[in-house]
Structure 1
Amino acid sequence: VKYCSENNKRLIHFSTCKVYAKKIGSFLPKDHPLRQDPDFYLLKEDKSPCIFGPIEKQRWSCACAKQLIERLVYAEGAENGLEFTIVRPFNWIGPRMDFIPRIDGPSEGVPRVLAYFSNGLLWGGPLKLVDGGQSQRTFVYIKDAIEAVLRMIEDPSRANGHIFNVANPNNEVIVRQLVELMIEVKYCSENNKRLIHFSTCKVYAKTIGSFLPKDHPLRQDPDFYLLKEDKSPCIFGPIEKQQWSYACAKQLIEMLVYAEGAENGLEFTIVRPFNWIGPRMDFIPGIDGPSECVPRVLACFSNGLLRGEPLKLVDGGQSQRTFVYIKDAIEVVLRMIEDPSRANGHIFNVANPNNEVTVRQLVELMIETYVEKYNQDQNVIELVTGEKEGLLRLPCDKALLVDPKFAPYVHKYAQDEDAFFADYAEAHLKLSELGFAEA
């Protein structure tokens, strides 16, 4: 991706249909009428969400990695003008597309579904079906798929910047952070160190209930809105909504941690913080932080109150937040550290459901408190349409450039990547010995 962007090369990236994973309709009761609604089963390149099962279901790791690469490609196009086309193949079949174990492939390998069943037929083995074989597949002959890709190559004016499902419905039967965390996981696993990994509540992204009509009774059913560590799916918006890149990267790391525990015995605990608040948890632009950066929601509104600026709400501020005071959060984490027998191998939401409010309720409470305390005029609440949700929301790295202590390192590592990894490995080793070694 970097090479194509820097050298003005066009990129045709082959991804997978697995980035869609589950459909909204699959979570509804089997006889529910909305399962027949195209909005709940049709996979659209620019609209369908990416819904993965909970982290302990390791089958989604490949799809999550593919999704993250798609988001990197799309972001490079949006930010730096990379010409790209993303191809999502749906079960391409034909000669030389797979292998039969012990005939033209390794005996220990597992081929894809068509070759897998062919192998069972040839050797007289049982044909195993998961969940009665109710999942669906859309098959495309390889020559048809190649023709579709050739058209994308020949007509860049229509293909650039787009994602294409290459399927036949009639046949339906952030990279550096990733590398750093992979080093951390590998180190802990190889040295028998316990890993407490801090992730984010953003891995859940959307709830099933958010896709239902606003007055639908199932929106009040806990199965459709309650976020459970071991059961809730991870539902991201479509690839063009860049705000999900951060959450996707975090989810992939969770999957790597969980897989390392399952495969190699890594002792781990995953922490998912929900809006921890308290002293020194954020900054006010231009006061105790850089003026060009955007803080998180509480500090963002505090900044607006102090400056008398409009407080902007996306979609009327109907999204919800669950706030936890930092001292309470620290107490929870300390209990995980002190009691590994109960915490190892588990994921924990660190949240307080009694402090759950909509963003609009939060703004109204902050305005009321501010007016009462400082006798100031009430701020204007400005509404922003939901179309803005695609904005990229990532921690601001620009802050490092204006800090005189960090700036030299930024310039050093920009010129010498090997120096970064050497310094990181040394620093991480010291931190691990101090903070992760068991008593």
Structure 2
Amino acid sequence: MTSLSVFIDVPKTSKLKEEQQEEEFLQNRHHRKVFLGQRILLSDDGLPWVPLVVRKVYQQILNDPIRSYEDLPAGGSPEFVRAVTELALGKTSKAIMENRAGGIQTPGSTAAFRLGVEFLSRWCNVDQKMSVCIPQPDCDWYKCTLEAAGVTDIYPYRIWDGKTTKLVFLELLKDLEMSPDHSVVVLPICCTPTGIQLSSSEWKEMASILKKKNMFPFFHLKDQGMASGDVDMDAWPLQYFVSENFELFCVQSFSASFGLYGESVGSLLLVMRSNEALLSVRSQMECLVYGKWSTPAATGARVVATILYNPMLCEEWKDNVQTTVKRLLIIREKMRETLRLLETLRSWNHITEQSGLFTYIGLTSDQVDFLAKENNLYLPEAGQINISGLNANNLHYVTQCISDVTLNDMK
């Protein structure tokens, strides 16, 4: 019997640049080191932010002597699915009233997106290969999941120009116009990676193009309420498309808005044109779920459903979210003003024009590398900053480093 493993020829994968940076940060012993590439919402003490109401309800559920320990159905907790569907669409949504909106509970947003992609690749336009339009520069996460699901016809559409630090809406429209008819279009809303929020008139123009080209909207509603502080305002684009009679999917994530990172609570929202279509789509998705994770976790979903169904708890949660959004806005204003006072010879208004957890500040990959090597300041390669990682202890140091690297490149 050989002593060699049957997997001896399996190559190691190369780590992503962000993973490499985080490892370098952890190994770095410098006392001024700063890491702003986190994917989670941090409180002032640098720990994951969890709303007080979530902590309270979580403990109540864990200590409940009659709590059920049985598996959830493949489609997830019916109470959770109903609650998050109403949160996204509004309780008076026509789609809900006509019983043609529902969803599937998933282990986080990645699972929801993967489930939706696999279903669409099997059942959407079965006579032709599926093409998918994804936003750029937000596209890496979507592209990885699409390729893992076997989707190769991927068409990026531009959203943001790093040189001008502006939304490029005309280019966005042009890219969608040039993409194949009947494509699936991924549409991030709320806490987008770029921090950019389109206006209502811009969303209406996009809806017109999608309708003209028979495209399928696939929304990504990440942490509803964390962009504006208002859950309905953050979900408006989705609600508008529903009012325009689109059939659509929407990934929902509750990691940051409820502080449930370790619970992986997500949902794939479905809006169809009839109850019959909804039931058929759900049944096919449940078959896919059985072959993947079989049943989702229960505790996080119970926390979300308990809060959303209790008016007092729901208002407390909304107040917690608004307080945190105000804190993020203050950090943005302090960052912009500090950079302005450092006379960096450029406008930093885009920092406060963006919203949510992340902001693209307009640095090149070379500048990002310089900051890591010379200043022990670690950012993702695209120069994206997690705003919640800034605080009174590091804000001036971070802005001074950014000021220095931008001034040096202007000389």
Is this a same-fold pair by TM over 0.5? Answer: no
TM normalised by structure 2 equals 0.19
TM normalised by structure 1 equals 0.19
Give the greater-gyration-radius structure (CA).
1
The higher relative CO (CA closer than 8 Å, separation ≥ 6) is in 2
